[in-house]
A and B are shown apart, each in its own frame.
Chain A
């Protein structure tokens, strides 16, 4: 069998790690690299690392990300709301140019702050589709090591949980957005596995929005 020196084998190893070789080429290169035990071990370690890193893909922000973002944009100073205002203008402009001009004069002369107020109103009416969520805290007697199972239960109930909880000192927690119905399902699912304490006034309407803070209090 043909062999290559270590320098060439290292070059092939880098190409394998870079994904530059495929199929038969990759298989042949691998054989040549494996003739050098140290390089073979290095290749295996790096490929295992690559596989593990690819497993970190796909973290999701907490549910309601778009709503929070749009709420923030709407709350920014008027300059940021200009595009929203432009949309409003287009919606309100099936009128004659003269009427539009008159309206513009009124806006400019009669009420200098109207445009920014309107932008905020439009943002509130058009962008924010939900009322403010009710804050609820779920205190779980569990450690962060149990997060995988807890997350699975939360996700199963429809509350999208982050891959990892956030840590503040000794406390691990996560903020989720959802509805009362999803919260109830989560409490039922979690309650079957571990002690759960619900703090806060849970709305009675099933589709009422809730902001759930999950706190792990430790074992």
Chain B
């Protein structure tokens, strides 16, 4: 199958950069399924990653990611390009996540990630800039513990941590994606980080990294 990317105009140094997202969104809105498929391919990882960190369960995250893209499919015609497509998709993802968490909470579903054994080494491995291949299992355990701690945060705080610290969004993008003022975002992030450090005392005494 021909991909949408293959049919986009080539960008030379002399021409202004093409906004590939806007181009794909525009084509997808008119029924170009190849363009929609390409959009899904470009964003599936980001959507799924946020969903996984918010929900803590791979199957729930897959279902929610599909819901996000179904919403996108239905709504593309109404996308005016006033915000970046990426932040719009994050906003849709945010709304779906918060709704799903409310739904799950009403049914008494709690965090679905098992907390592993205590130990500084697993988190130390996760915090290391480049974990060695031989310690991947330790890193997986550290990820699980970190995920379990994330699940204890209130959903709005968890979302901010995921968008900022995991997805590495800028504050400008976070404002667009959440609709919150930047001051509110920062103060909530500080509280969330402090709560996580309290949950994971192994981090106390670790050397930090320059960002």
Q: A45-B205, A70-B33, A86-B31 are in contact. Are A65 and B44 (CB under 8 A)?
A: yes
Verify B62–A62 contact, CB threshold 8 A.
yes
Shortest A177–chain B CB gap in Å is 11
Name the interface size band of chain B: 35 or more
Instruction: Closest B residue to A88 by CB, please name it.
Output: B31
Partner of A147, one of B31, B70, B137: B137
With A and B bound together, what is the CA distance between A162 and B113 in angstroms? Answer: 14
Partner of A48, one of B30, B58, B62, B203: B203
Verify B193–A41 contact, CB threshold 8 A.
no
Partner of B147, one of A90, A126, A144, A164: A164
With A and B bound together, what is the CA distance between A44 and B57 in angstroms? Answer: 30
Mark interface residues in A72-102 (1 if CB within 8 Å of B CB, else 0).
1100100010011111001000000000000
B107 CB-CB contact with A under 8 Å = no
Partner of A59, one of B49, B112, B113, B210: B49
With A and B bound together, what is the CA distance between A43 and B127 in angstroms? Answer: 15
A202 CB-CB contact with B under 8 Å = no
With A and B bound together, what is the CA distance between A49 and B113 in angstroms? Answer: 19
Verify B140–A48 contact, CB threshold 8 A.
no
Instruction: Closest B residue to A27 by CB, please name it.
Output: B210
**Chain B hits for A65, CB < 8 A:** 40, 44, 48, 62, 65-66
A141 CB-CB contact with B under 8 Å = no
**Chain B hits for A84, CB < 8 A:** 31, 33
Verify B165–A54 contact, CB threshold 8 A.
yes
Verify A72–B197 contact, CB threshold 8 A.
no
A residues adjacent to B (C-beta < 8 A): 14, 16-19, 26, 30, 41-62, 65-66, 68-70, 72-73, 76, 80, 83-87, 90, 126-127, 129, 144-149, 151-152, 162-167, 174-175
Selected A-B contacts with CB under 8 Å, 16 pairs = A18-B189, A46-B194, A49-B165, A49-B197, A50-B211, A52-B203, A53-B165, A55-B126, A59-B48, A59-B53, A61-B61, A65-B48, A70-B33, A84-B31, A90-B31, A145-B137
Ordered nearest first, which 4 A-B pairs have the shortest CB separation?
A47-B208, A148-B136, A53-B165, A48-B206
B residues adjacent to A (C-beta < 8 A): 1, 30-33, 37, 40-41, 44-45, 48-49, 52-53, 57-59, 61-62, 65-66, 69-70, 73-74, 112-114, 116, 123, 126-127, 129, 131, 133, 136-144, 146-147, 161, 165-168, 171, 186, 189-190, 193-194, 196-197, 200, 203-211
